Amino acid sequence: MDQKKQKQEQSRYLTNNIQINLVDVNYRLAKKIVIRKWINDTIIFERKKLNYIDINFCSDSFLLEINKKHLKHNNLTDIITFDMCENDLITADIYISIIRVKENAKINKTKFTQEVHRVIIHGILHLCGYNDKKPEEIKKIRDKENYYLSLIK
Protein backbone atom coordinates (compact mmCIF):
# COMPACT_ATOMS: atom_id res chain seq x y z
CA MET A 1 0.00 0.00 0.00
CA ASP A 2 1.40 3.39 -0.91
CA GLN A 3 2.04 6.03 1.74
CA LYS A 4 -0.96 8.22 0.81
CA LYS A 5 -3.43 5.31 1.09
CA GLN A 6 -1.83 4.25 4.35
CA LYS A 7 -2.37 7.73 5.82
CA GLN A 8 -6.00 7.74 4.63
CA GLU A 9 -6.60 4.36 6.28
CA GLN A 10 -4.97 5.53 9.50
CA SER A 11 -7.06 8.72 9.49
CA ARG A 12 -10.25 6.69 8.89
CA TYR A 13 -9.35 4.40 11.81
CA LEU A 14 -8.72 7.32 14.13
CA THR A 15 -11.89 9.17 13.19
CA ASN A 16 -13.84 5.97 13.93
CA ASN A 17 -12.56 6.37 17.49
CA ILE A 18 -14.75 9.46 17.83
CA GLN A 19 -18.29 8.31 18.56
CA ILE A 20 -21.25 10.67 18.37
CA ASN A 21 -24.27 9.55 20.39
CA LEU A 22 -27.73 10.77 21.33
CA VAL A 23 -28.72 10.24 24.95
CA ASP A 24 -32.23 11.62 25.36
CA VAL A 25 -32.63 14.14 22.55
CA ASN A 26 -33.60 14.03 18.91
CA TYR A 27 -30.75 15.74 17.10
CA ARG A 28 -28.75 14.99 13.99
CA LEU A 29 -25.24 16.37 13.80
CA ALA A 30 -24.50 17.29 10.19
CA LYS A 31 -21.22 16.36 8.50
CA LYS A 32 -20.12 13.82 11.11
CA ILE A 33 -17.15 12.64 9.03
CA VAL A 34 -15.93 16.22 8.57
CA ILE A 35 -16.32 16.91 12.29
CA ARG A 36 -14.49 13.74 13.29
CA LYS A 37 -11.61 14.63 10.99
CA TRP A 38 -11.58 18.22 12.31
CA ILE A 39 -11.39 16.95 15.89
CA ASN A 40 -8.63 14.48 15.01
CA ASP A 41 -6.67 17.15 13.11
CA THR A 42 -6.98 19.49 16.11
CA ILE A 43 -5.64 16.81 18.45
CA ILE A 44 -2.71 16.13 16.12
CA PHE A 45 -1.97 19.85 15.71
CA GLU A 46 -1.94 20.18 19.52
CA ARG A 47 0.66 17.37 19.59
CA LYS A 48 -1.61 14.81 21.21
CA LYS A 49 -2.81 11.37 20.11
CA LEU A 50 -6.37 10.11 19.90
CA ASN A 51 -7.43 7.02 21.82
CA TYR A 52 -11.20 7.52 21.84
CA ILE A 53 -13.78 10.21 22.46
CA ASP A 54 -17.49 9.69 23.00
CA ILE A 55 -19.52 12.84 22.30
CA ASN A 56 -22.99 12.53 23.82
CA PHE A 57 -25.75 15.00 22.98
CA CYS A 58 -28.33 15.24 25.74
CA SER A 59 -30.96 17.39 27.45
CA ASP A 60 -30.48 20.02 30.14
CA SER A 61 -32.01 17.73 32.77
CA PHE A 62 -29.68 14.84 31.90
CA LEU A 63 -26.59 17.07 32.03
CA LEU A 64 -27.77 18.73 35.25
CA GLU A 65 -27.94 15.32 36.93
CA ILE A 66 -24.40 14.55 35.78
CA ASN A 67 -23.29 17.95 37.06
CA LYS A 68 -24.86 17.31 40.48
CA LYS A 69 -23.69 13.71 40.81
CA HIS A 70 -20.12 13.95 39.55
CA LEU A 71 -19.13 17.59 40.00
CA LYS A 72 -21.38 18.56 42.94
CA HIS A 73 -22.66 21.61 41.00
CA ASN A 74 -26.35 22.48 40.87
CA ASN A 75 -26.38 24.56 37.70
CA LEU A 76 -27.04 24.17 34.01
CA THR A 77 -24.07 24.02 31.67
CA ASP A 78 -23.52 23.46 27.97
CA ILE A 79 -20.74 20.86 28.25
CA ILE A 80 -19.14 18.51 30.71
CA THR A 81 -15.94 16.76 29.71
CA PHE A 82 -14.74 13.69 31.56
CA ASP A 83 -11.02 13.67 30.93
CA MET A 84 -9.47 10.19 31.10
CA CYS A 85 -6.33 11.19 29.24
CA GLU A 86 -3.00 9.66 30.09
CA ASN A 87 0.04 11.67 29.08
CA ASP A 88 -0.62 12.77 25.49
CA LEU A 89 -3.24 10.09 24.74
CA ILE A 90 -6.71 11.67 24.47
CA THR A 91 -9.51 9.62 26.02
CA ALA A 92 -12.78 11.22 27.10
CA ASP A 93 -16.53 11.24 27.44
CA ILE A 94 -18.11 14.55 26.49
CA TYR A 95 -21.72 15.49 27.25
CA ILE A 96 -23.32 18.44 25.47
CA SER A 97 -26.73 19.91 26.23
CA ILE A 98 -28.47 20.76 22.96
CA ILE A 99 -30.82 23.14 24.78
CA ARG A 100 -27.92 25.11 26.31
CA VAL A 101 -26.23 25.30 22.93
CA LYS A 102 -29.43 26.70 21.39
CA GLU A 103 -29.63 29.29 24.17
CA ASN A 104 -25.94 30.17 23.73
CA ALA A 105 -26.47 30.68 20.00
CA LYS A 106 -29.31 33.12 20.71
CA ILE A 107 -27.32 34.99 23.36
CA ASN A 108 -24.17 35.13 21.20
CA LYS A 109 -26.16 35.88 18.03
CA THR A 110 -24.51 33.01 16.17
CA LYS A 111 -25.84 30.15 14.13
CA PHE A 112 -26.77 27.03 16.06
CA THR A 113 -24.35 24.86 14.03
CA GLN A 114 -21.48 27.24 14.72
CA GLU A 115 -22.26 27.14 18.44
CA VAL A 116 -22.30 23.33 18.41
CA HIS A 117 -18.87 23.39 16.79
CA ARG A 118 -17.61 25.95 19.34
CA VAL A 119 -18.74 23.82 22.27
CA ILE A 120 -17.21 20.68 20.77
CA ILE A 121 -13.84 22.32 20.14
CA HIS A 122 -13.93 23.90 23.61
CA GLY A 123 -14.15 20.41 25.12
CA ILE A 124 -11.38 19.13 22.86
CA LEU A 125 -9.12 22.03 23.86
CA HIS A 126 -9.65 21.21 27.54
CA LEU A 127 -8.50 17.67 26.76
CA CYS A 128 -5.42 19.13 25.07
CA GLY A 129 -4.50 20.96 28.29
CA TYR A 130 -6.15 24.38 27.97
CA ASN A 131 -7.99 25.85 30.95
CA ASP A 132 -10.43 28.72 31.37
CA LYS A 133 -10.34 29.73 35.02
CA LYS A 134 -8.13 32.84 34.84
CA PRO A 135 -8.58 35.79 32.44
CA GLU A 136 -5.38 35.00 30.52
CA GLU A 137 -6.45 31.33 30.18
CA ILE A 138 -9.88 32.38 28.92
CA LYS A 139 -8.29 34.59 26.26
CA LYS A 140 -5.96 31.81 25.15
CA ILE A 141 -8.69 29.15 24.88
CA ARG A 142 -11.03 31.59 23.07
CA ASP A 143 -8.28 32.44 20.57
CA LYS A 144 -7.71 28.71 19.98
CA GLU A 145 -11.46 28.12 19.60
CA ASN A 146 -11.68 30.87 17.00
CA TYR A 147 -8.66 29.52 15.14
CA TYR A 148 -10.02 25.96 14.95
CA LEU A 149 -13.53 27.18 14.10
CA SER A 150 -12.02 28.97 11.11
CA LEU A 151 -10.73 25.61 9.82
CA ILE A 152 -13.99 23.66 9.77
CA LYS A 153 -15.74 23.69 6.44
Q: Is residue 60 part of a domain?
A: yes
Q: How far apart are CA 51 and CA 143, in angstroms?
A: 25
Q: With 0-12 CB in 10 A as exposed, 13-18 as middle and 19+ as buried, what is 113?
A: middle
CATH number of the domain at 89, please.
3.40.390.30
pLDDT in tens, 53-90: 999 999 999 999 999 999 888 999 999 999 999 999 99
Integer Cα distance of 136 and 153 in angstroms:
29
d(CA 99, CA 142): 22
Alpha carbon distance 107, 110 (integer Å):
8
Q: Write the pLDDT tens digit of every residue in 92-115.
A: 999 999 999 999 999 999 999 999
User: What's the number of domains the chain is made of?
Assistant: 1
What does the pLDDT read at residue 71?
87
- Label residue 5 by pLDDT band (50, 70, 90): low
In a domain, 9, yes or no: no
Q: Report if residue 7 sits inside a domain.
A: no
Is 1's pLDDT higher than 60? no
Range of the domain at 129: 16-149
The DSSP element (H or E) to which 143 belongs, if any, is helix 135-149
- Mean pLDDT, range 121-143, rounded to an integer: 96
Q: Where are the beta strands (DSSP E) in 46-150?
A: 49-58, 79-83, 89-97
List pLDDT tens digits, range 29-38. Answer: 999 999 999 9
Cβ atoms 110, 78 nearer than 8 A: no
